[in-house]
């Protein structure tokens, strides 16, 4: 099977299942990847924020990507998280992910350091020069404390192997600017489930989703409806997802989706410290959201 050259549609920023002893639950991960693909997801993103990569060793991250690649068996692109605020470490981790079989790399702008725009651009250029895989830029100021401005994204897009952006700035005018001026073949993906409809209505190509961990088929249908121009169907699907979209971020991601997947019998509700299980006061909200989409039936 030939993989698409342009990223579009519904991608899942997949969680990492853990056993009660803290080890990676490899069997659960394999089942989860297969279920995601059976439900119609277009690509998978392991070892991102949702996958708790920041609390995994490099060997653990490599193993998660190896399993995801093996289970996907070439059916969809695998965009492996490889971000670091240390450019040298980002390059080293990128090499590990390439060797694990990733088809693309996901790189955040450097967190904590708060470099200026020219520093952000230099970080990505160094990665591009060192690794011959296509790169997805991840702009998430709420976690990195710095915004990648539209001009920086567009400059990197024009230069080559930065082939897409996962935009989670919640800045619709900025995203629209990128969409208007991007080069041919450059994908703009929503990084915020609540804004997928709006971003795709502006001409965006899809989403890297958190809620699709729980409702992959509905998120895939939402993207499909927008690609074929059926805005009415897309609105209905977005409304159906709305309670889950709210519940998925009622505490820090991936706390709520891990709880949801546990309730659905997909995996244990185990997170790596400093993350903790969902507060019991939020469980009724989560259950109502799952009931609304039939996930507990």
Across the chain, mean pLDDT equals 96
Q: How far is CA 274 from CA 144, 199, 225, in A?
A: 18, 32, 38
| Annotated catalytic residue 112 | no
Q: DSSP letter for 166, please.
A: E
Q: What is the mean pLDDT of residues 231-248?
A: 97
Q: Which pLDDT value is given to residue 202? A: 96
pLDDT exceeds cutoff 60 at 1:
no
The rounded distance, in Å, linking the Cα atoms of 113 and 122 is 14
Mean pLDDT computed over 141-149 = 91
* Catalytic pick among 88, 89, 112, 166: 166
Helices (H), 104-230: 117-130, 141-144, 150-159, 172-181, 196-201, 216-227
What confidence tier does 4 reach under pLDDT thresholds 50, 70, 90? Answer: low
pLDDT of residue 71: 98
User: Is a pLDDT exceeding 60 seen at residue 186?
Assistant: yes
Indicate if the pLDDT at residue 80 is higher than 70: yes
What pTM did the predictor assign?
A: 0.96
Decide if pLDDT at 11 tops 80: yes
Taking the C-alpha atoms of residue 78 and residue 212, their distance in angstroms, rounded to an integer, is 16
pLDDT (tens digit per residue) in 15-27? 999 999 999 999 9
Cα–Cα distance between 210 and 136 in angstroms, integer?
17
Question: Cα–Cα distance between 125 and 119 in angstroms, integer?
Answer: 10
Q: Please state, in angstroms and rounded to a whole number, the distance separating the CA atoms of residues 6 and 3.
A: 9
What is the pLDDT, as a whole number, of residue 143? 87
Nearest by Cα to 127 from 165, 94, 80, 160? 94
Is 166 catalytic? The answer is yes
135 with 161: CB under 8 angstroms?
yes
Measured in whole angstroms, how far is the alpha carbon of residue 158 from the centre of its chain?
Answer: 23
Separation of CA 133 from chain center: 18
pLDDT tens readout for residues 37-62: 999 999 999 999 999 999 999 999 99
pLDDT at 2: 63
Q: Which of 88, 112, 138, 258 is catalytic?
A: 138
Q: What residue segments make up the domains of the chain, in order of their start? A: 9-235
Q: What is the DSSP letter of 245?
A: H
Q: Give the per-residue pLDDT at 211.
A: 98
The CATH class, in words, for 9-235 is alpha beta
């Amino acid at each position: 099977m030939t993989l698409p050259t342009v990223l579009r549609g519904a991608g899942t920023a997949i969680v990492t299942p853990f056993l009660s002893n803290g080890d990676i639950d490899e069997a659960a991960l394999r089942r989860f990847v297969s279920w995601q693909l059976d439900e119609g997801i277009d690509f998978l993103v392991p070892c991102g924020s949702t996958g708790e990569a920041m609390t995994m060793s490099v060997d653990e991250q490599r193993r998660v990507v190896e399993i995801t690649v093996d289970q996907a068996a070439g059916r969809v692109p695998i965009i492996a998280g490889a971000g670091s605020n240390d450019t040298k470490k980002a390059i080293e981790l990128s090499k590990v992910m390439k060797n694990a079989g990733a088809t693309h790399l996901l790189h955040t702008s450097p967190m904590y350091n708060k470099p200026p725009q020219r520093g952000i651009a230099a970080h990505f250029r160094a990665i591009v020069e060192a690794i011959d895989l296509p790169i997805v830029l991840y702009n998430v100021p709420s976690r990195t404390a710095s915004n990648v401005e539209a001009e920086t994204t567009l400059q990197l897009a024009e230069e080559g192997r930065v082939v897409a952006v996962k935009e989670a700035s919640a800045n619709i005018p900025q995203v629209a600017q990128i969409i208007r001026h991007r080069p041919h073949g450059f994908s703009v993906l929503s990084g915020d489930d609540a804004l997928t409809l709006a971003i795709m209505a502006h001409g965006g190509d899809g989403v890297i989703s958190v809620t699709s961990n729980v409702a992959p088929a509905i998120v895939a249908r939402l993207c499909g409806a927008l690609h074929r121009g059926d805005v009415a169907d897309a609105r209905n699907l977005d409304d159906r997802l709305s309670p889950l979209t709210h519940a998925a971020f009622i505490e820090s991601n991936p706390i709520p989706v891990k709880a949801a997947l546990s309730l659905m019998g997909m995996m244990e509700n185990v997170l790596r410290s400093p993350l903790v299980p969902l507060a019991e006061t939020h469980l009724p909200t989560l259950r109502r959201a799952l009931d609304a989409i039939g996930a507990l039936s």
